[in-house]
Amino acid sequence: MRSAVREEHQEMEALEQYRAMLDVAIAEARTGLGEDGIPIGAALFDAGGQLLGRGRNRRVQENDPSVHAETDAFRKAGRQRSYRDTIMVTTLAPCWYCSGLVRQFNIGTVVVGETVNFQGGVAWLRENGVQVVDLQSRECADILSSFIAANPAIWNEDIGHDLETPNPNSSGAGP
């Protein structure tokens, strides 16, 4: 009984830490929105919660389709001996491109702000042993859904869909 209570307490502490980490990613998303970019933010932390790098989607600002929030945070973190114990925190489920980065470098945990607007590679990451925690943040969902409503062409470009092709993610079905 005591060990079950202790585990529950540890899980609650981890969720509190993840929410605090998500605040860093949300600040990045809001900065990106202020730059007329896509409001997705990310941050990479070590196992102890130390911030290694933070970033935001800069596709629009830099006219570079490869600058997603996760890749921006990853690059700013610099070289690490290992990524196995790192935690990637992102305001939105990572797309296939960013999910590939997580798998390539064996990032052990991905904390997602929301999966309502886009499910990306979450199921695939879980199937491949990555711990994925969905915080179901209303704030993250609201920021992005407002952007999508106002900028559908930019959003569809970001996730690799044109407006003439039905978007399989519009219902949250995933890519």
- Between CA 49 and CA 17 the distance in angstroms is 8
164 is catalytic: no
Instruction: Tell which residue, 26, 8, 37, has the closest CA to residue 111.
Output: 26
Judge whether 134 and 112 are in contact, CB under 8 Å. Answer: yes
DSSP type of residue 92 = S
In tens, the pLDDT along 98-136 reads 999 999 999 999 999 999 999 999 999 999 999 999 999
User: Is residue 169 included in any domain, yes or no?
Assistant: no
User: Is residue 15 included in any domain, yes or no?
Assistant: yes
How many domains is the chain partitioned into structurally?
A: 1
DSSP type of residue 63 = T
User: Is residue 63 included in any domain, yes or no?
Assistant: yes
Model confidence at 11, in pLDDT bands (50, 70, 90)? confident
Q: Which one is catalytic: 70, 114, 157, 164? A: 70
- The reported pTM is 0.88
